[in-house]
Amino acid sequence: MTRNVGPEDRVVRIVVGLGLCIVAYLRLLGGVADIIAGVVAAYLIITGLLARCLLYKAIDVDTSVQEQSYSTTDDRSGL
């Protein structure tokens, strides 16, 4: 699977994931909500580190910056 998570998106995912990890670890929400927060945190951290998101692939979203080829004078002049 190709990368579909951009650098800004990756940082946000990791920061939010770490925040949710802390919330789940401290059991601030209670019960099932802590488990859900832990699962979501794990998903966000994993997708942030790997730069690949299954949900983005399913809905055909790509936030990664694709490398642009540099043009030279030869390319523009048709040589």
Render pLDDT for 7-19 as a digit per residue (tens, 0 to 9): 999 999 999 999 9
Q: For 21-37, what is each residue's pLDDT tens digit?
A: 999 999 999 999 999 99
Does the reported pTM lie above 0.85? no
Distance CA 9, CA 17 (A): 12
* Domain boundaries of the chain, sorted by first residue: 1-56
Mean pLDDT value across residues 61-71: 71
In single-letter form, the type of residue at position 13 comes to R
Mean pLDDT value across residues 36-52: 96
Q: Is the dihedral of CA 6, 3, 19, 40 positive or negative?
A: positive
In whole numbers, what is the pLDDT of the chain averaged over residues? 87
Read off the pLDDT band of 71 (50, 70, 90). Answer: low
